[in-house]
Structure 1
């Protein structure tokens, strides 16, 4: 122990340096003036994963106090138009879902506000389809928005969006310039969306997002080449792919590494905050990768600077501050008025259902890292306990039976709740889809398969399908190789092995205080996204017997409000005080099953620490011997 302590100051310095390099940009205020724009610049403002975050009104939109809002975007753009040679606004997906204004109108409120704001090009994300594919297509057809996507087609190769790419023309200081934009949406849209929206009545898939990586890369390459053929001097990829935490071969980094001809990749889906990073393409050329986080805490700025000889150079940054001058502008005020007009219909969200003396968290309070997709949290415990309580008490006499277990997927839990009064809007921000709560009879085997599917990406990546539960405890060994088998669309097929044989990463699974029986029948409370729609690729429940279905119209937000108000008497108890949960999910190696295959990062980290400790200890002993000789 003493040896390890001697290494800690060194390690802490390393960690601090790494942390500063990753987060320093987020701590400082960045305005348009800090970035600058001139008449030789085409300024492309970009948003991604807005999720209905049209203002900083947390009660309605689930946003934080730093949200710029659409009014902020309008104010910043208004100033830029007086400075730059040309100004554009683009969005790369997941904008029309995630707040009350969109849950209520199936995304139409955000579509209308995006029209008002004047988006030039948009790309769909996986959540654009949450309210149904046909619904989304009808909305954009009736709007003036310009949606592009090259890899979303039917099985005959016909585009679903109006265009695969677009080429826009500009005159910059007397020079004619054409910029091509290629749209790409994640192949995870099927598994992380609602699979049945992409199937026919027989359950066969009739659409594709080019799930085979080679097909994806070739499709993007074809559109890059088409932009060049149409005269584009420069090509920007607008992708809702994610740079991390996605299936192998589908990330923005993968697409960059397997294509040529694009200079910039504006990314979404992973909610990553990337002011600008250089990634090498297929032939070793530099490509600028950038992404602006989520909920409009940042507005991305891509500056394409046109040199006297016509050469184009790219730089990017993230704005996180709206100046007083911008707030005083007509552009800001007009957009702010339109946003407030939409939000005025949601006063009911301020109804108080209870109080919590401490925060309920999905994000780590110290680091800001999202926890709920990879570990136990007090928010996950609170919500799943609410599901189980509701079923076992059936307060509205809807026909629930006594349940054994309740499930939620971490990806469906979207926000923290701060200490203090808990209003309807707070809970809606946490669960913004108004998802139906269902109850099914399932087997222990199906429960185990869902747990295993949700744990397959640990420890290196989080997973939207990570299972938080009530009535059930389990452990995960992240050093074991995952044996989950999925199809080319990310849909679960099987685990290649048996639970009893130790082939699962999950172990010591208990329902109540008893070991789970794979052959036994259990009553499970679960959202319809999993039980009926195979969300996150969870196919194992699709044929299970329904007790309560989505047709019974039990809304998850109302379930949690009932639990808080009636089940807990309006006060969140101390058992939920630890943001890391109560220990119902434990992540540690399974005794008797040493890691095989690829060693986990944690093991390498431990080995590295021991090596450093040993090296410093030897150096210390040598120096002591020198002292003795002297």
Structure 2
């Protein structure tokens, strides 16, 4: 199978990226209008929707006046539009998701995600891979969720320890679309027990490569094509593609990677569309009508900017979304604490802020540790003095990061702080339990001159307990020295849940504006 890439176009609603796989004998195949017309299958895909009912500001397009993008209403209208296209042209349409369905917004958390999943199913998904965040409310919750709503979930690498596959989720699903039998195989990251509810530790998460091999063997002769729906991250998808070089397509998730043109690994196209229902991917595949051999594959990312076209509105989904938003508004209006002064961020790289002090102090209160660190880019708003609601918490800490406790050397902490001070990291740091001494020259460049932890100079070889968020613990913002910590303990509580507990315990709080950076002039 030969790969023929095409240059992407950039019109909204038009193909923004096209990748074609064309057989060398394509020119000898019958024309599409002939009796043996190729079978046309369209795969629409999402991943890491994370409860995004509402459209959200596309800050990556404009920070000053961002347009609204995505949300379930827009997804639903896109599905309806493409299904209508399929009815006109004879193409079959398959709608799939690669995991992490509800966790991440106020609306997604209504009734522990159950209400959101009802809306997600009304969009018209044919199969959904189980993601790690589906375990966030415990194993019984997930089992009941799948059963109560008959979720077409798939996951082939979930086992009872010492026994067979779990009985509460199907390993794969077989669909016949436009005359092509497709085996949809779900695969979940083996790291799930370390990043979600402790219940996940009662299961065995088998190796995805080995389990895909078993699935392919079991489906041999039953399907024409195996399509993995994975929640393992793009790097692991690359390993899958290398292990099975005949796979034409992998629909991925977990790493929140936006692959505008897909990622090519040999003859395999790996696709993923970021997160938060901001885009939908479309893969068009044509198969030989007799042999079911893949003839051609094209890929595009569908823009979800703007309102849903009236003619393709899904009124049921629209009504369910409205109900969910109104219900969540009541929950989000709950007051969790009161500030007796304003809470501000800072643009000064060598100055701590009241907002950063609050978040990191709350981290150390939730997870006993010598030091807490938080990336400044993860703190997204200021607060005025007065009552604080759950909606305020979501605006301050909108990302779905959870707490992580690491045991690291003083040298590792020093490397992180140096990256923040000297600008090699993508975001500065806020911290608790530590004082950082810096020297700043006339051009504004900083140099790390000292660190004190618990009032004492840092010891490079000593092991310290550090609490941070999961984004930084995974090496985010170029803090790569944290990524390979051998002693890691994940707490499933999100940062905003942790902060709510902290505010409730303090009732009325005066924001701390103490100086945790100590700055001197010159070198």
Q: TM-score range by the shorter chain?
A: 0.5 to 0.7
**Counterpart mapping for 1:309-320 below 5 A:** 310-312=292-294, 313-320=296-303
Q: Deviations over 1:403-454 (max 9, x none)?
A: 98552576xx99552578797424225546999999xxx9xx9464896799
Is the 1:276–1:317 Cα contact (8 Å) retained in structure 2?
Answer: yes
Q: Deviations over 1:110-137 (max 9, x none)?
A: 2111122221101111111111122111
TM-score normalised to the size of structure 2?
0.67
Q: 1:189 to 1:470 in 2, by over 3 A?
A: same
Residue of structure 2 in register with 1:253 after alignment = 238
| Partners of 1:454 and 1:95 in 2: CA distance | 36
Q: Deviations over 1:512-535 (max 9, x none)?
A: 55224699999998899xxxxxxx
Residue of structure 2 in register with 1:335 after alignment = 317
| Partners of 2:186 and 2:344 in 1: CA distance | 46
TM-score normalised to the size of structure 1?
0.57
Given candidates 229, 234, 238, the residue that maps to 1:243 is 234
Check if 1:134 corresponds to 2:145: no
Per the alignment, in what secondary structure is the counterpart of residue 45 of structure 2?
Answer: strand
Gaps of 5+ in 2: 1-6, 19-31, 33-37, 58-65, 438-447, 471-482
| Partners of 1:388 and 1:35 in 2: CA distance | 42
Check if 1:425 corresponds to 2:407: no
Residue of structure 2 in register with 1:611 after alignment = none
| Partners of 1:539 and 1:381 in 2: CA distance | 31
Gaps of 5+ in 1: 1-22, 59-63, 200-205, 245-250, 362-375, 393-399, 476-505, 529-535, 543-549, 576-580, 585-630
Per the alignment, in what secondary structure is the counterpart of residue 183 of structure 2?
Answer: strand
| Partners of 1:264 and 1:567 in 2: CA distance | 54
Residue of structure 2 in register with 1:147 after alignment = 153
Per the alignment, in what secondary structure is the counterpart of residue 262 of structure 2?
Answer: strand
1:67, CA displacement in angstroms?
Answer: 3.0
Is the 1:386–1:560 Cα contact (8 Å) retained in structure 2?
Answer: no
Q: 1:360 to 1:113 in 2, by over 3 A?
A: farther
| Partners of 1:157 and 1:452 in 2: CA distance | 43
| Partners of 1:208 and 1:454 in 2: CA distance | 35
Is the 2:411–2:461 Cα contact (8 Å) retained in structure 1?
Answer: no
Q: 1:320 to 1:330 in 2, by over 3 A?
A: closer
Q: Deviations over 1:432-484 (max 9, x none)?
A: 6999999xxx9xx94648967997xx99xx99xx9963122579xxxxxxxxx
1:347, CA displacement in angstroms?
Answer: 2.7
| Partners of 1:126 and 1:467 in 2: CA distance | 28
Per the alignment, in what secondary structure is the counterpart of residue 145 of structure 1?
Answer: coil
Per the alignment, in what secondary structure is the counterpart of residue 222 of structure 1?
Answer: helix
| Partners of 1:381 and 1:298 in 2: CA distance | 35
Residue of structure 2 in register with 1:306 after alignment = 287
Q: Deviations over 1:88-144 (max 9, x none)?
A: 221111112011123342221221111222211011111111111221111111112
Shifted more, 268-277 versus 304-313: the winner is 304-313
Higher strand share: 2
Residue of structure 2 in register with 1:208 after alignment = 204
Check if 1:385 corresponds to 2:384: no
| Partners of 1:333 and 1:224 in 2: CA distance | 39
Per the alignment, in what secondary structure is the counterpart of residue 119 of structure 1?
Answer: coil
Check if 1:268 corresponds to 2:253: yes
| Partners of 1:255 and 1:389 in 2: CA distance | 42
Per the alignment, in what secondary structure is the counterpart of residue 153 of structure 2?
Answer: coil
Check if 1:88 corresponds to 2:94: yes
Q: 1:260 to 1:109 in 2, by over 3 A?
A: same
| Partners of 1:437 and 1:44 in 2: CA distance | 36
Q: 1:288 to 1:518 in 2, by over 3 A?
A: closer
Q: Deviations over 1:580-617 (max 9, x none)?
A: x9699xxxxxxxxxxxxxxxxxxxxxxxxxxxxxxxxx
Given candidates 43, 50, 73, the residue that maps to 1:71 is 73
| Partners of 2:319 and 2:220 in 1: CA distance | 41
1:167, CA displacement in angstroms?
Answer: 1.8
**Counterpart mapping for 1:402-417 below 5 A:** 405=370, 407=372, 417=380
Q: Deviations over 1:479-531 (max 9, x none)?
A: xxxxxxxxxxxxxxxxxxxxxxxxxxx99652155224699999998899xxx
Q: CA RMSD in A?
A: 5.2
1:293, CA displacement in angstroms?
Answer: 0.2
Check if 1:168 corresponds to 2:175: yes
| Partners of 2:454 and 2:465 in 1: CA distance | 13
